């Protein structure tokens, strides 16, 4: 029976909840705003399935990708965090009658996994969501679709991919699993309080968020908030390091405890394809260095290679890359992150939406003047290059 005594040993993938044959496990939220499985001992039949499917208790071995590429889909870059790979990939699956699962904002601005069966619904899945998504009963839905012979594309974090594979009892031939080079999963409870605080401050209802708005710059992206007030939607952009929610995420303050020793990152998720930001694009693929975004693609399996080749035939622009060079400046590939010293103090002070934004801002560590000037100059040169290429 699952008993979480050390919260760093639970990634919240829900595999145990879905695998329990008597449904004795539920997810409950702790004071930091993360969900953990809790088993009812009066119902548990001690079958051990919950432990068998746990990706923390049963980690996969690390493996290097079969091939690595810098890539960009010019037709799909609008609204995407980097090179437009995911909407191109998902669009192909949908055209062929498949079902696509990915993280989406719900009507109340919480984040959960949703299924999409047409191109109109694909908009919901585009863009980064820096909140741990609620998987509900998604693993069961995916299993049922696969058993019915449907083709499924499932996109998620490395631990979600590992949990799904364990739940299914291994990779199924009609499932394509795509993960991201995950920086870590921020607290959904914190995000919900932040939304409430933002709405109180703005005087309207938050109806859309883009965590990676690159309309002005891909490297120095902004967080864009759309607020509905008196029937009018107003947009507000703020630089990533001036937005306390984003800044604390980037400084590893708001991550789930298991993220600091993730059992599935660094090639251990079992995914077919891994998508990442190619931050050192000038070194790997200078032809993509125009500050509009570029992706790094890790092809991990033969199934992933077949799909990637199909995308290339459909017009995906690619440049072969060296894995060691491509992973530079991408914390999503690191084997472990360091937990900030003030993390516990931070979460102890998060109680309500009252003055939450000001409280969070007090924990943001500002960059040095040298680093700030360096980034601004680098971004300015990239913008000039982008204009010259048009």
Give yes or no for a contact between 212 and 279, defined as CB atoms under 8 angstroms apart.
no
The secondary structure of residue 173, as a DSSP letter, is T
- Measured between alpha carbons, how far is 312 from 309 in angstroms, rounded to an integer? 5
Residue 239's φ and ψ, nearest 5 degrees, are -55, 145
Helix (H, G, I), strand (E, B) or coil at 140: helix
User: Alpha helix (H) ranges present in the chain?
Assistant: 15-19, 49-52, 85-95, 138-147, 158-168, 188-202, 244-250, 281-284, 302-313, 323-326, 343-348, 356-361, 369-389
Q: Is 21 exposed, middle or buried (0-12, 13-18, 19+ CB in 10 A)?
A: exposed
The tens digit of pLDDT for each residue in 87-107 reads 999 999 999 999 999 999 999
Q: Which two tokens stand for residue 118?
A: 């047409």
- Name the nearest CA neighbour of 262 among 15, 26, 56, 22: 56
Which position has the higher pLDDT, 387 or 246? 246
Residues of the chain within CATH 3.40.640 domain(s) are 67-185+252-333
pTM of the model: 0.93
pLDDT band at 389 (very low <50, low <70, confident <90, very high): low
- Measured between alpha carbons, how far is 12 from 321 in angstroms, rounded to an integer? 33
Class level of CATH domain 7-52: alpha beta
The tens digit of pLDDT for each residue in 254-270 reads 999 999 999 999 889 99
Q: Token pair 């984040």 is at which residue?
A: 111
- Measured between alpha carbons, how far is 325 from 271 in angstroms, rounded to an integer? 21
Residues of the chain within CATH 3.30.70.20 domain(s) are 7-52
Helix (H, G, I), strand (E, B) or coil at 111: strand
The tens digit of pLDDT for each residue in 192-222 reads 999 999 999 999 999 999 999 999 999 999 9
Class level of CATH domain 67-185+252-333: alpha beta
Helix (H, G, I), strand (E, B) or coil at 332: helix
């Amino acid at each position: 029976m699952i008993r979480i005594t050390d919260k760093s040993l639970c990634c919240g993938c829900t595999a145990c909840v879905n695998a329990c044959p008597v449904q004795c496990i539920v997810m409950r939220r702790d004071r930091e705003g993360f969900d953990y499985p809790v088993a009812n001992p009066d119902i548990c039949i001690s079958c051990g399935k919950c432990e068998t499917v746990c990706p923390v208790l049963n980690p996969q071995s690390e493996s290097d990708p079969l091939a690595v590429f810098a890539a960009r889909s010019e037709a799909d870059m609008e609204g995407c965090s980097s090179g437009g790979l995911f909407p191109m990939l998902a669009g192909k699956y949908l055209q062929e009658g498949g079902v696509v699962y990915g993280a989406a904002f719900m009507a109340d601005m919480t984040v959960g996994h949703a299924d999409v069966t047409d191109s109109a619904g694909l908009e919901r899945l585009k863009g980064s969501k820096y909140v741990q998504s609620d998987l509900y009963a998604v693993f069961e839905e995916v299993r049922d679709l696969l058993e019915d012979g449907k083709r499924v594309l499932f996109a998620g974090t490395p631990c979600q991919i590992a949990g799904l594979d364990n739940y299914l009892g291994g990779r199924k031939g009609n499932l394509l699993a795509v993960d991201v080079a995950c920086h870590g999963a921020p607290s959904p409870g914190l995000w919900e309080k932040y939304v409430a605080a933002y709405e109180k401050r703005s005087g309207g209802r938050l109806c859309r968020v883009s965590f990676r708005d690159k309309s002005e710059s891909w490297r120095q992206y902004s967080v864009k908030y759309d607020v509905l007030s008196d029937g009018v939607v107003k947009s507000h952009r703020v630089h990533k390091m001036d937005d306390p929610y984003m800044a604390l995420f980037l400084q590893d303050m708001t991550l789930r405890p298991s993220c600091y020793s993730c059992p599935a990152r660094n090639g251990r998720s079992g995914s077919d394809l891994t998508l990442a930001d190619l931050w050192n694009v000038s070194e790997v693929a200078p032809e993509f260095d125009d500050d509009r975004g570029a992706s790094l693609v890790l092809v991990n399996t033969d199934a992933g290679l077949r799909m990637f080749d199909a995308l290339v035939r459909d017009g995906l622009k690619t440049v072969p890359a060296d894995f060691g060079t491509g992973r530079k400046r991408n914390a999503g590939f690191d084997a472990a992150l360091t937990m900030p010293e003030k993390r516990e103090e931070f979460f102890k002070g998060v109680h309500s939406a009252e003055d939450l934004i000001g409280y969070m801002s007090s924990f943001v560590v500002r960059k040095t003047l040298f680093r700030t000037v360096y980034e601004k100059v680098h971004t300015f040169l990239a913008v000039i290059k982008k204009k010259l290429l048009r």
